[in-house]
Amino acid sequence: MGKGYPVIFQAPPETACLICLIIFSVNRYLAGMVYATTQHKFLQILPKEAAIGNNILPMAVNIIVWFFVFALFYWAFICILPVFTMKKKYFQERSLIVAFVVWVKNGGGRLRDGTETVIGRIRTFLKRQYDALLHLDFQDKTNRTIFRIVGINFVIVFLISLFGVTGIWAFALYSVVLFVFLRRYFRKIQEQYKGILKATRALAKGKLDEPLTEDVGIFAPVQEELRRIQHGFQKAVKEEVKSERTKTELITNVSHDLKTPLTAIITYIDLVRTEQDEAKRKEYIDVLERKSLRLKVLIEDLFEISKATSRSATLQYMKIDIVDLLKQVCLEYESDLQKAELEMRFRLPDTKIIVWLDSQKTYRIFENLIVNISKYSMPHTRVYISMTESEDNVRIVMKNISQEEITFDTEEITDRFVRGDASRNTEGSGLGLAIAKSFVELQHGSLRISAEADLFKAEITLPKTDPSSLSTNTSG
């Protein structure tokens, strides 16, 4: 706590003791001044009839003199007070006598150099005090507290000075009370500091769930920062755990999705070799073709998602009519939607909406979402597709009723190889929504998936801004 004081209270103990000695040496004269004041023999510059004038001036002088005396005593007391907390270190760092003994013990050097060093230190000290007074911030909470304490101390000293000579005993009692108060105050601060250290050590040991609720007084701002650090660590650990889980699931799902068609291909190749019936051989070849195409699509999807997530995909921006593009995708997959027995409801603008986009990537976004609807929607239900235009962007919303109960996390459904079909019985790679989301984000848009009961909702927002005006590199 010794170094926590302002520089003005870090004077050498010899200086503080000398000031106290001077105060006690002139105490007799100060007491005589008080006595002379009471006898109307001090600073009587007005006629004796002017009793009020003869009382006000001596009283003002008394207040100024005693305030100066008690301020010096208070300063000396605060300078010496750290000896109880710093102990041996206090004399090693601040005592002029110890510094002189160490200087002599270490060889000293020229006396002239030593004198110049002392003078330089005194000059530096005085300059620091002058600069501190010039740059004193009265709005700072710490400075306001110090001035409040000094003000209270001034009022108490003033009241003590009214007792005259007997005020010395009152001042001695006040000094004892002040010492007890300050000692208790500093012990409380030490306890609060230990509480902060305890919380810091807990964070260092990885105890992120331990609540920081202990009362730490003036260290409350530090505790609040520690809470933020704790929250940040918790979030980082959660993200890391999620990342590791995603990597594990990714490896498992990739292995499963690649292994299934590959195993089928190997099996049917052996059957084709041994089968003599031409009709069955043709059937086996058809199965091989389907499985090969399935494997080809999966590998292409892996390639696409790899480029999209690594931001290495090249975008070819052009002006396109996004309304016409969406209609084109829906028309191409009309037969699939009819087979799924879905009734389409469109709410699209009657006019063109020209947007700067990559036509192929945007087509793939709509394609993946429409395919997802045709696979997972409940038959004999309606599908709603709407598009609205604002000044800065275009918003497309697709809604459908899920065939299976929605039990998955909608925030994770756009991750790689995450599928709404947990049993993985339906044909799909689990990359459709992940690719759509990556392509949307590459074009500075957003894809948000939400669900309410069995209602599945995909909301796409694409900017209308010319990509050349964006600071982000559009090529990844």
Choose which CATH entry (3.40.190.170, 1.10.287.130, 3.40.190.10, 2.60.40.10) describes domain 219-307.
1.10.287.130
* Whole-prediction pTM: 0.47
Which part of the chain is CATH 1.10.287.130? Answer: 219-307
Average pLDDT over residues 281-299: 84
Q: Catalogue the long-range contacts made by 409-418 (C-beta closer than 8 Å, 24 or more residues apart).
A: 410/449, 410/450, 410/451, 411/449, 413/449, 414/447, 414/449, 415/246, 416/246, 416/250, 416/305, 416/309, 417/249, 417/250, 417/253, 417/254, 417/257, 418/249
Which part of the chain is CATH 3.30.565.10? Answer: 316-469
pLDDT on residue 132: 59
Average pLDDT over residues 253-274: 81
Average pLDDT over residues 155-179: 74
pLDDT on residue 2: 43
Average pLDDT over residues 294-303: 78
d(CA 191, CA 150): 25
d(CA 179, CA 186): 11
Q: CA triplet 166, 171, 174: central angle to 5 degrees?
A: 135
Position 399 confidence tier, pLDDT thresholds 50, 70, 90: very high
Q: Kindly report, residue by residue over 32-91, the tens digit of the pLDDT.
A: 766 666 665 655 444 444 444 556 666 777 777 777 777 887 888 788 878 777 777 877
Asked if pLDDT for residue 461 goes beyond 70, the answer is yes
- 302-338 burial: b if 16+ Cβ within 10 Å, else e: bebbebbbeeebebebeebebbebbeebbeebeeebe
CA dist list (Å): 236 to 131, 229, 243: 44, 10, 10
Average pLDDT over residues 261-280: 86
pLDDT on residue 324: 93
d(CA 33, CA 20): 19
Q: Considering only CA atoms, which of 288, 290, 291 is closest in space to residue 268?
A: 288
240 token code pair:
């890391």
Q: Which pairing describes strands 342-347 and 381-389: parallel, antiparallel, or unpaired?
A: parallel
Residue found by looking up tokens 């709603």 in the block: 384
Q: Kindly report, residue by residue over 226-241, the tens digit of the pLDDT.
A: 888 888 888 888 888 8
The residue type of 141 is K
Q: Are 19 and 72 in contact (CB under 8 A)?
A: yes
Residue 238: in which H helix or E strand, if any?
Answer: helix 220-274
Average pLDDT over residues 354-383: 91
To which CATH superfamily is domain 316-469 assigned?
Histidine kinase-like ATPase, C-terminal domain (3.30.565.10)
